Chain A
Amino acid sequence: MAFHKVNVTINGEMEQVVVPSNMTLMRMLREILAFTGTKNGCSAGECGACTVLLNGEPVNSCMVLAVECDGTEIITVEGLAGDKQLDPIQEAMIQEGGVQCGFCTPGILISSYALLKRNPNPSEDEIREALVGNLCRCTGYVRIIESVKEAAKRS
């Protein structure tokens, strides 16, 4: 197995990591860098729990190889909050009850954050469209949609 040096910026910090060729970005984040906020719900691109921002775009990190990320900028759920200040989408998820077991939450936050960045005033249909890749088994999504609307109001 060949190993590769990967330079990435994660949540604003430069990191240099040595990874095997077949390691996914999800495993690199969780197992090498201990960013366990990024969840593994399927390792197959089916649930969205592992969603992170790769150069500003939401991706399923279980479907991206770590080596592909050389020179990129990654944001995980741990990077959403500023210094002691939660991002509006995080605050809205707390206030509106968008969280139950919370396992889908990091992925949902990242997808919603990306949506609000490119479209600060999304319609309900646009919210649903943006979150179609993020499964949640607990909430029925109703309060997740409310959270995104609320965050749009706040930011």
Chain B
Amino acid sequence: MSLTRSTLWVGQSLPRVDAPGKVTGETQYSGDLSMPGMLQMKILFAGRPHARVVKIDTTQAEAAPGVVAIFTAKDVPVNEYGLQWNDQPVLCGRGQGEKGSRVAPDVVRFIGDQVAIVVAETEKAAAHARDLIHVEYEELPAVFDPLAAMQPGAPLVHPELGDTNICVHDRLRKGDVEAGFAKAEVIVESEYFTPVQEHAYLQPEAGLAYIDEEGRVTIKAGGQWTHTDRAQIAHALGVSDEEVRVIYPAIGGAFGGREDMSVQIVLALAAWRLDQLGVRRPVKIVWSRKESIIGHCKRHPMRLRAKWGASKDGKLVAAETEIIADGGAYMYTSNKVLGNTTITSTGPYFIPNLKTDVYGVYTNNIPSAAFRGFGAPQALFMAEMQMDKLAEKLGLDTVEMRRRNALRDGDTLGVGTPVPGPVSILHCIEAAAQHAGWEKEPDGWRNVKRENVQPANLKRGRGFACGFKNVGFSFGYKENSWARVELHGDEEIEGVVAAHAGAEVGQGTHTVMVQMVAEAVGVPLEKVTLMTSDSAGMGNPGSASASRMTLMAGNALKGAAEAALAKWEAEERPAIAEYTYRAPETTPFDKESGYSTPNFAYAYVAQAVELEVDTETGFIKILRVVSADDVGQAINPALVEGQIEGGVVQAQGYALMENFITRDGYVLTDQLSTYLIPTILDIPDAVDSVIVEVPSPIGPWGARGLGELPFLPLAAAIAAAVHDATGVWFDELPLTPERVLRGLGKI
């Protein structure tokens, strides 16, 4: 049966399916859960950046009132975990779980490493007892600066993994850079610094663990990927995946920060060990804001060096780039993040000759990992600033410069293979430029002069920048997503039950899933019931990351719906079908040249910014942001706009105000009063979303992906606008008033 018809539900701005529960206070997040007989848990964090645990004495703590149990490394069957590599102990210390482990389990490598957990009748009793645990440490020499950590002789964070702290080195070698630079009319060399960013999702980590009716250790805690949470928990407990169950309650934001483990493994460990000790009671934990800030990963800070050349007619001829990223204490997803940094370091432009080296380095800082954009915002800050500086030297308009170099269908990326089409960066550039007031003249795009504002200390400027990013997992990962669709009824379909375990982290994916199921089956929305995020009885959804959920879940649900409809036609009642969508194959980088087909799909974005710099105070006021994002097909345009606005404001925080300060591995900004994120008074006067729709041939109804796009180019667009206003290039973020005044030579 053909499903081709004009769409009923796809493309409609419908209200979110989860909004009613959220506005009445009914929706339960993990910190809201409770069960009869529930115990409370507290974690003893190491609170030091690098040390060996010599001895843990829990006698006094165990005797404290209300304490039920204290667990340490001795209780962890396999004391290692990690999303990419198992390089982190669950609880630091010596114990049973070292056999076969590659990492020394008794070493603390950053302040947020966990050492012991206390389970007690009340939270207060647990906190009190935690403070009575005596741990003897042997301090180890630590390293916090990634450049220092790369030097021979630097203290090693993981001596057992090799004799260097360099844990990632990606290269691109394409053409001949020397020959390329020889053809250059202008060359720009710069060094950029991008900062740490804290996710600061409003809901701190929390969770509840219990043994379910089938004897499974069950964890209810927000995450981004049920099945890898489960796999990491099962690995540490030394049990099979089927003996562990992960359920997601409502999740209060994620942005990549919930992709790695926080409370999940220790919660599971507590419920599981208690059960072995004859105490079958649920265990709950809620992290404070401070615990959340020291306890989960951050956006990689980077130092980016670039030497780019362009010919007289504004064509890029060669680029040489070296990027060094602080990976922090553990791998988490650094290898993948930096792979993405490597690919996006060219910007969405064709560059014939390339030499790129990207390093990830272990230090004793908080691990760096996923955060909206996944390594691309840093690379694009560099690439887009290079484009602006080259354009300035050539006397070209910034939009025109981009237009001349934008990737076209069939162009090869830095990895030496053609970019999967259709490539829509030009559509985005034109849409954003037009909307923001650039004009297309016979000789190219031109930024039309605007009136000057009074008083003289307020300088206005306009900036423009582009971005692109993969949709879905890369580098040879067998990208897939599972779904089930059940059609109930007799004569006609009376109800549809769809199951997909993909995480709703606030982005609206459940709403989009319901719309796509209703569309695929051809029924009214009200007939669709969605079963969500439970690892028991559901296949692997893949992660709510890499802007992949609409494309991957959409294809999975569409496939399951089509298969169920076929069974329905064949008179099966109920008609039930499962389907796993498998994305086109990708390949990893060649070690020497980076040659690969790393991704199966990309999405594109262009942004324009207009702002005002107060040259007396250094304060930057964003007047307007235009964001043109190619989403392929907006399944729900209102949700797309919501993602664009949210992404823009988060990126504005990154570019202007979010200043994560550490000293010797300790965090000085561990509260929301010291780590400032945008309030409602900080946002731009206007955010104009321009939805571009160039369908993806492999996307459901043509959809690409979205979540990360609006974040990607904003910092560069802002810095360009500040340059336009003041004539000064700022190569380091965030552009706090102090940094601006320094740059202007005022202080």
Contacts and interface: CB of A to CB of B under 8 A. Distances in A.
Nearest to B642: A97
Nearest to A49: B202
B25 interface: yes
A102 B671 contact: no
Interface string B709-730: 0000000000000000000000
Nearest to B686: A142
Chain A contact residues: helix, strand, loop or mixed: loop
Contacts of B286: 40
B289 A135 contact: no
A128 B202 CA distance: 19
B323 to A, nearest CB: 27
A77 B26 CA distance: 9
A90 B32 contact: no
Interface residues of B, number: 56
B671 A134 contact: no
A81 B24 contact: yes
B39 to A, nearest CB: 14
Contact of B200 (A132, A134, A137): A137
B642 to A, nearest CB: 5
Nearest to B689: A142
A102 B250 contact: yes
A78 B28 CA distance: 13
Given A44-B289, A101-B506, A137 B20 contact: no
B50 to A, nearest CB: 29
A138 interface: yes
A68 interface: no
A141 B683 contact: yes
A37 interface: yes
Contacts of B175: none
Contacts of B647: 140
Contacts of B447: none
B662 to A, nearest CB: 20
Interface string B388-420: 000000000000000000000000000000000
A42 B506 contact: no
Contacts of B31: 36, 39-40
B507 interface: yes
A46 interface: yes
B204 interface: yes
Interface string B12-50: 000110111111111111011010000000000000000
Interface string A78-115: 10110000100010011101011111111001000000
Contact of B202 (A35, A41, A131, A145): A41
B677 A137 contact: yes
Contacts of B671: 42, 44, 46
B650 A132 contact: no
Given A43-B289, A90-B23, A95-B15, A102 B683 contact: no
B289 A42 contact: yes
B560 interface: no
B646 A37 contact: no
Given A42-B289, A47-B672, A94-B16, A137 B202 contact: yes
Contacts of A141: 645, 649, 678, 680, 683
Interface residues of A, number: 52
A138 B504 CA distance: 13
Nearest to B122: A31
Given A103-B202, A140-B645, A135 B507 contact: no
A140 B253 CA distance: 13
B252 A46 contact: no
B646 A139 contact: yes
Contact of A38 (B21, B25, B27, B28): B25
A137 B253 CA distance: 8
A78 B29 contact: no
B263 interface: no
Nearest to A1: B124
B681 A99 contact: no
Interface in A119-147: 127-129, 131-132, 134-145
Nearest to A128: B680
Given A35-B25, A41-B289, A46-B671, A137 B201 contact: yes
B252 A102 contact: yes
A102 B17 CA distance: 12
A76 B507 CA distance: 25
A41 to B, nearest CB: 5
B687 interface: yes
B679 interface: yes
Contacts of A104: 202
Interface string B241-279: 000000000111111000000000000000000000000
A135 B639 contact: no
A94 B19 contact: yes
Nearest to A103: B252
Given A41-B204, A141-B649, A77 B15 contact: no
Contacts of B167: none
A124 to B, nearest CB: 9
Nearest to B506: A101
Contact of A97 (B16, B24, B649): B16
B508 interface: yes
Contacts of A131: 680
B24 A140 contact: no
A63 to B, nearest CB: 12
Given A77-B23, A99-B16, A101-B250, 9 more contacts: A37-B25, A40-B204, A41-B672, A47-B289, A94-B15, A103-B253, A104-B202, A140-B687, A142-B687
Going nearest first, the 6 A-B pairs with the smallest beta carbon separation are A37-B25, A101-B506, A102-B22, A103-B252, A140-B649, A140-B645
29 contacts: A36-B32, A39-B202, A41-B202, A41-B289, A42-B204, A42-B289, A42-B672, A44-B673, A77-B24, A78-B25, A86-B24, A94-B23, A99-B22, A100-B253, A100-B506, A100-B646, A101-B203, A101-B251, A102-B250, A102-B252, A105-B23, A106-B25, A138-B202, A138-B646, A139-B642, A139-B649, A140-B683, A141-B683, A144-B680
Interface of B: 15-16, 18-29, 31-32, 34, 199-204, 250-255, 286, 288-289, 505-508, 638-639, 641-642, 645-650, 671-673, 677-681, 683, 687
